Amino acid sequence: MMNAKGGKRVIVSENGDKVDTGMSGIDDSALASAIGNGEDLGPFIRAAFESGKPESLVHQLRNFVKKKEVEIEDLCKAHYEEFIQAVDELRYVLVDADELKGGLAEENSRLQDVGNTFLAKLDALIESHGTKQNLAHAIESLRICTTVLDLCLKVNEDIMTDSYYPALKSLDILERDYLSRIPAKAFRLLLEKEIPICRNHIERKVSAEFNEWLVQIRSIAREIGQRSIGQASSARIREEDLRGGQRQAEEQSRSGSRECVYMLEMEDLEEDDSQLKFDLTPVYRAYHINTCLGLDEQFKEYYYKNRQLQLISDLQASSAQGFLETHQTYFAQIAGFFIVEDRVLRSAGGLITNARVESLWETAISKMNVVIEDQFSRMQTANHLLLVKDYVSLLGVTLRRYGFQVGPLLDVLDTMRDKYHELLLNDCRKRVTDDLAADKYEQMVMRKEYEYQTNVLMFNLQTSDVMPAFPYVAPFSASVPDCCRAVKDFIEFSVNFLSYGGHMDFYDLVKKYIDKLIITVLNEALLKLIQNPMLGVSHAMQIAANMTVLERACSFFSEYAAKLCGIPMRLVDGPHGTLSGRAVLRQSQAVAHEQMLKLVKSKVDEFMLLTGNINWTPDDPPLSGNEYLNDVTIYLETLAETAQEILPLDAFDKMIRGVLTHISESIVGTLYGDDVKKFNINAMMGIDADLKVLESFADDKFQSSGLDQLPGSSNLRTCLAEARQLVNLFIASNPELFLNPVIREKNYSALDARKVQRVAEKYRDLPERFSLGRPRHPGKKKSLDALCRRLRDQL
């Protein structure tokens, strides 16, 4: 390396020291130090050649050699004696070494003789050891091959006996522990080829068994579903029996019965699923084997896709047969499918996830809802709809036990509620119409106790708790128990449809439909019947009596509905249990009573037409009244007797008062009308005799019928007040007192002044030739004339 300023050459030695060569050559001390230290002289040689003066380096090296030779000579001169002494000692050592060499040669000869013998034995030993190793290796190879052959034989036996898992474990052991150790290459290659073939064979066998299971489980799923739904039905019956016993105990408790009631406490036991026996071994085996083969995910997908396809096929409703005939097998098939899936979910160790089962259920419930809505929309018979609904509700109960959400399924049933009840109402309308048309509207006669129980006690129609004597004549006709049976059946069908659905408390719904039945079916049919223009009095009276009994039967209807719905009777006794239809029937009773009274009045009018035969100016008063009254009296007696038997007391009171009032008005109307041109005192005496008969009838019925017990009831003779006061006025000695307000208010309050004036104008006094021996009352005519004038002036 050259310095840029001075031009000196600097050589760096191996130890890192810098040697300044200057311009005259290499420093001798640095060269000597490098040679003494054994360093590489390459840098010095390179520097000499680079400077173009290699001779200088050679010269320095020669000088260095000479210096070292001189140093060696000096060293030898200094140690000469010691060197001579060392050479003498070395000579002695050489003599001893020759002796030792001779001894060693002899010993070596002997050792060679002994060693040859041992070498021969050693060769034999080595040969034996090699033979032993070969034998051990052969034995080990044979042992391995034997073990492999045993495993192969076991694999074949396991496959033959369908023990696939042990066969796979043996194949794994062969492949993992023995295949690489088999000494026979051909045997090893054969096994390497056959092991995958065995695994594929096992996989095919397991797949074939699983596919057979898929076919088999679909064929028995229907039976599984039917059996499970049958268990749900049996549980429902037991639950209803238990509720019935509880209701009976409650009723006896409410009635204060001292009789001890013993009830069997039933445990709420779940149905035993062990009765639903079906084999899932092929599924477990297939899933386990595929897991061992590392194909578990593929098998999971294969299982899900196949079951999904089966479900889609099961959800297709058959079009070859009617849904009514196939609905049980249809829903049983679906129930069986999901019972199997639930068992697989719980026991197959992850073959199918809960999410996938839920996905299958959502698919099923969506399709079932569509099918149910479509089929329900086509049904026109309530009984058919109830049959399907009942089985669907059992399906819901069954699958709810397995954890499936059946709410949407029950919601579809609720949407069919109104249609079902409309169909049920139509059936009941036809039934009620037929019952009313077939009725003869005569009091029902029961000759046996069982007839009384089935027609009266069953519907709480009795008016007394004492069993009557037979034959028993009921106040109603045959259509009443028939209509009660129709309503009772309606309640049962309604409860059957609404129970075991989405509603726990459905009494209000049942009550709503009962009201609809009573109002739109029963009440309208009765009103239509009562408004028939061809209806007779006896029929009208019996229909009115029937309506009263039916109105009373509403209590039984509400109690029976509550009983079926499991509602405590104490709630029914309050406003909550009152049927609105009862008030409507009560209103219709008033219409029936009006119509009945109208017909009775019409019939009475027929008899009152006979007043046209009365001689209004007789020479002598009738001895026993007028002839028309005989027919009227007979009719009134017959009418009252019948009405008293079948009508409630208030209705009887209204009817008999209406009839008597109408007779009174008819008598007054006859005198007021144009048919009577004139009358005399004898005719009025005849009317007086008629009124006495009617008043006697009124007094008798007021006492004998119990009308005197009605709150605020007045004597029936008050109904004849207008006719009685008019007759009293004309047979009075001084009729002009009518104008006295006090007397008029006291004795003639029922009379109309205009009518009095008109009737008074018709009054004629008896001729003198007919008054011999009898008072003529000549002043009465004058009094009546004065009365007429003053009334005329007032009016």
Average pLDDT by consecutive 10-residue portion of the chain (795 residues)?
41 45 60 79 82 83 85 81 81 85 87 88 90 88 83 83 80 79 81 83 86 90 89 81 64 49 41 64 86 87 92 84 85 91 88 91 91 86 87 88 87 85 92 92 90 90 84 90 93 85 71 91 91 86 90 89 80 70 89 89 88 84 81 90 86 89 90 86 88 90 82 84 89 85 89 87 68 52 81 76
Q: Which of 167, 133, 129 is nearest to 151 (CA)?
A: 167
pLDDT number for residue 16: 47
Q: Which domains does the chain have, with CATH numbers?
A: 10-78 (no CATH), 82-183 (no CATH), 202-255+273-413 (no CATH), 417-592 (1.10.357.30), 614-794 (1.10.357)
Query: Element (H or E) spanning 726, and its range?
Result: helix 721-731
Tell me if 485 sits within 8 A of 455, measured CB to CB. no
Q: Which of 708, 744, 706 is nearest to 725 (CA)?
A: 744
**End-to-end CA distance of the chain, in Å?**
169
pLDDT number for residue 263: 42
User: What Rg, from alpha-carbon coordinates, does the chain have?
Assistant: 66
Q: Which of 463, 417, 470 is nearest to 446 (CA)?
A: 470
Helix (H, G, I), strand (E, B) or coil at 132: helix
| CA pair distance 757, 743, nearest whole angstrom | 17
Give the up-direction half-sphere exposure of residue 445: CA atoms within 13 A in the CB hemisphere. Answer: 4
Residues counted in the chain: 795
Q: Which of 514, 503, 554, 499 is nearest to 425 (CA)?
A: 514
Query: Residue 594 is which amino acid?
Result: E
Task: Write out the two tokens for 190.
Answer: 């054969």
Query: Residue 191 is which amino acid?
Result: L
- In the DSSP assignment, the letter for residue 750 is T
- In the DSSP assignment, the letter for residue 270 is P
pLDDT number for residue 1: 41
Tell me if 351 sits within 8 A of 298, measured CB to CB. no
Q: In 647-720, which ranges are continuous DSSP H helix? A: 649-672, 681-704
CB burial readout 230-244, b (16+ within 10 A) else e: ebbeebbeeeeeeee
Pairing assessment for the beta strands 18-20 and 10-12 based on DSSP bridges: antiparallel
Task: Write out the two tokens for 119.
Answer: 């070498």
Give the up-direction half-sphere exposure of residue 153: CA atoms within 13 A in the CB hemisphere. Answer: 6
**For the whole model, what pTM was predicted?**
0.69
pLDDT number for residue 7: 40
Helix (H, G, I), strand (E, B) or coil at 446: strand
Pairing assessment for the beta strands 472-473 and 18-20 based on DSSP bridges: unpaired
Helix (H, G, I), strand (E, B) or coil at 9: strand
Torsion of CA 172, 178, 184, 186, to 10 degrees: 10
The sign of the dihedral angle between the CA atoms of 35, 41, 44, 49 is positive
Bridge partners of 446, per DSSP, are 472
407-415 and 417-438 are packed helices; what angle lies between their axes, rounded to 10 degrees? 40
| CA pair distance 549, 412, nearest whole angstrom | 39
pLDDT number for residue 321: 77
| CA pair distance 314, 222, nearest whole angstrom | 10
| CA pair distance 484, 554, nearest whole angstrom | 9
Task: Write out the two tokens for 160.
Answer: 């033959």
| CA pair distance 72, 439, nearest whole angstrom | 167
Q: How far is CA 174 from the centre of its chain?
A: 57
Task: Write out the two tokens for 571.
Answer: 């709630």
185-255 and 382-400 are packed helices; what angle lies between their axes, rounded to 10 degrees? 120
| CA pair distance 426, 382, nearest whole angstrom | 9
Task: Write out the two tokens for 411.
Answer: 């919601």
- In the DSSP assignment, the letter for residue 774 is S
